[in-house]
Structure 1
Amino acid sequence: MAILDSNPEVLLRKRKDADRKRIEKQEAARVRKERAEKKNDPRKTRFVRAETLSVRNALAKIEKKRIESVLRHEKSKRLDHTETEPKLLFVIRIKPQNVHTRIPETALNVFKVMRLNEPNTGVFIKAIPTIMVALKVIAPYIVVGTPSLASVRHLFQKRAEIPSSDPELPYTKLDNNDDVEKKFGDNLGFICIEDLIHEIFSLGPHFKEVSRWLAPYRLKAPTRGWGAIERIERMRFEEAIKKPVTLAGHAKVQEIDIDKFLEEQT
């Protein structure tokens, strides 16, 4: 006869895990349904006006010229390149400011490498010279800034996810230290979430392993609706991501107050 575990703490933990997995499965099912609906959206085959095509082509030419200018400038300065001190950045992908903009293949490849495959997702990066060149390529489609320790910890607490063992769920929430110890305890000595926070914020020697294990942070989409509060919040969001477009290859990546931005997005 099997002996049932009657420890209240164990039962409560199992029940909590079961509830969490159920909610995550429901969320994953909802996301799959939304993607399927978007894929089969009949509006995708609607008639496109000649004026719209003209605008798209003009924007595509401008973007191509901008990226070529960036790459040409970086190629010319390689010989006298000076090393700069790396720093922590948080990069968030956003939708193009112009609805007619088609993101170039070069920029899409950068997003793929950074795992920013969808708008409103973000990742921590170590700002070394090669990364800064990549950020210049995708500059019109991102917001970027240096996060404080409080913002890093807040992101971990609310949005950190890791690969899931459930085949139906690509990721699961990182909400206990056991997962950290199982992954990094033997080889890196990390045994709790706070260890990961310190490694990320301090740009530690194992920054890459930790950051690549964590899923891209899924942030809240910009506020919708037409109520007074919604309109104000949307105006703030649009103001935060507004940036001048320049074709100059030497233009630097424009940083924003990422802490303030994350307060509204998380």
Structure 2
Amino acid sequence: MTASAASAHSVFVRRLGEGARKTLALHCTIAHSGVWSGLAKAMDGNASLVAPDMLSHGRSPDWDGQGDFFDHVTNNAAAELAGQMDVVGHSFGAIIALRLALEHPERVRSLILIEPVFFAIAHRDAPDLFDQHEKDIEPINSAFNAGENALAARLFNRMWSTGISPKWPDLPERTRANMVRGIHAVPAVHSVLYEDQAGLLRAEMLERAAMPTLILSGSETHPVIPAICAGLVHRLPYARHAVVQGAGHMLPISHPQDTAALLKVFWKPIPIAS
């Protein structure tokens, strides 16, 4: 593993693995680029991961609140697209990955969206499941409204964890502090995820995704996620959906071997340009 700072954008970029498939890996909210280490190892030399830390996450600097957070993190990720690359994103990172594929399709060889949190799709396609999610997330929104970011981070982490995940008090203090540090990204991208502020769901945008696309979800995830996955399969021209049994929302971290096995099969017929 090597690491470097991208000077033009001041974000930290981690490089994992030695394989021929150059892959851009985009982590979820309140995580960091190091979470891809297990998947990189499980790929057994099949891929080299380029993994930037989002602003306010990992070893990247804090977002200063200026401009649009989604624009900033997308531009930082796009700066790491060198030639044609496979792009994998998890949770909010999957929404960044989708935007890259729609805005730079010539540079995205294949697209992997893991547990994408594009709630605007569920709002349109599965309003009952969307409403259930809104009820479940209300305590988090209340914490944000009260200015209690530490509580919001704790509740957010609990909501997207499974029964086998470490409880908040059992997490290292540094891990908890990093989650609190990055939690402001959640309200910063609310209109992107809920209202499609970036216009990604427009038909003329979606048809640009001519690359093979794999969408992954865990069998134990929140019920809203399968509805989002089904909506993306319906809308994207070359997408298919697979489920990792026993996994929850954090499946690329908790189930790296299963994730790697699915990626190897998915990538097998997709050639790497010489």
The structure having more radius of gyration, on CA atoms, is 1
**Does TM, scored on the shorter chain, surpass 0.5?**
no
More RCO (CA 8 Å, sep 6+): 1
Give the TM-score, by structure 2 length: 0.21
Comparing both structures, which one devotes a greater share of its residues to strand? 2
TM-score normalised to structure 1 length:
0.21
